[in-house]
Amino acid sequence: MAAKLAILAVLALLGSLSCQTTYGYGYGGGNPPPPPPSNPPTSRSPPTYPPSSPSTYPPTGPSPPTYPQAAPSPPAAGLRVGYYDDKCPRAEAIVRRAVRGADAGVKAGLVRMFFHDCFVRGCDASVLLKPTEANPQPEMLGIPNLSLRGFEVIDKAKAALEKKCPGIVSCTDILAFAGRDASYFLSSYAIDFKMPAGRYDGNVSLASETLPNLPPPFADVKQLKDMFAAKGLDTVDMVVLSGAHSIGRSHCSSFSGRLPPSNTSDMDPTLAAKLKGDCVSPNGADNTVMQDYKTPNELDNQYYLNVLNHKVLFASDAALLKATDTMRLVYAAAASQKLWQYKFGEAMVKMGGIEVKTAANGEIRKMCGFVNKAY
């Protein structure tokens, strides 16, 4: 019975493949969740839950979501795969070379930076703009963005592209390619998808817009769904993109409320005790810890096994078990790494189409940290 139910969960997620494009975000208690699928990925041990009756899964409530068998949606208007093939033929290779040279932590930062850029004013590289006299508080100084990493990789790629093809490749497309390439390297080349391009750079960047748009680490399921829906992303996209928490680091302040002596967290006690020790700082510094305790530098589906085992940092991670539809999607991703990898690529492309700028309301910056003209 459990095996059949796990297969149904996978099929529910598989059904969504046909309605998506072809191709970190980084910021709970109750009864133990239902037993894990009986066919987890062969490369990993199954979740270790207390035994319970198979009849508790699936939980009572609505049936798993069924997805329309529609044709894949095209890329956002104005975007296409191979956009620079005739404009700057080596553009994507130049970006990939810059990303390849970064360490794992910076690569994780590039995936997170792409997310943080697209969720504020759309994918327009507004997160890259530096403080100026005209705008002393750009996005990069917003509280959720203070720990972003990878700016130097974008600048390196931009400098190389300006020498090769001046004024052609937007900083926004560089960031989109970098997010894709970082995913490719961190997944040992398993997450491999084509990223449409043709975005222009925005010229407005406000720190005040970060908190209202970026999902916080304490978000519940409804808040997560609402914030993703506001960007044109559905529940599948939300759960799939949450898998980026398989890489990178987090400040202890983002999850300190889930550690002892708190009695409201469902975090695994052993992990909670370890994190409490790791977060102790004699000088009061906000320490950082790996988001995935098991495969910290691999972009894989270990995150979903961690969710099932209550071994995740954020309340927003634990919240995925609090709703029937998100719980089933977690099980599906945990049961099939290949499926999750494919869906992650699709979701990255879909996210890359949020509020795309054109020549009418954007520009191609000469330097990614500054607009071409003061505003």
Dihedral angle of Cα 106, 112, 116, 119, to the nearest 10 degrees: 150
Alpha-helix residue ranges (DSSP H) falling in 42-125? 91-100, 104-118
- Are the CB atoms for 259 and 275 separated by under 8 Å? yes
User: What single letter denotes the amino acid at residue 175?
Assistant: L
With b for 16 or more beta-carbon neighbours within 10 A and e for fewer, the 95-118 pattern comes to bbebbeebebbbbbbbbbbbbbbb
Q: 10 Å Cβ neighbour count for 69?
A: 9
Query: In whole angstroms, how large is the CA radius of gyration of the chain?
Result: 21
**365-368 long-range Cβ contacts below 8 angstroms, 24+ apart:** 365/125, 365/170, 365/171, 365/201, 366/162, 366/166, 366/167, 367/155, 367/158, 368/125, 368/128, 368/154, 368/155, 368/158, 368/171, 368/174, 368/201
Q: Is residue 349 exposed (0-12), middle (13-18) or buried (19+ Cβ within 10 Å)? A: buried
With b for 16 or more beta-carbon neighbours within 10 A and e for fewer, the 26-63 pattern comes to bbbeeeebbbbbeebbeeeebbeeeeeeeeebbeeeee
Query: Which residues are tagged catalytic?
Result: 116
The DSSP H or E segment spanning 247 is: none
| Cα–Cα distance, 264 to 267 (Å, whole number) | 9
| Cα–Cα distance, 340 to 242 (Å, whole number) | 11
Structure-token match 């071994």, residue found: 311
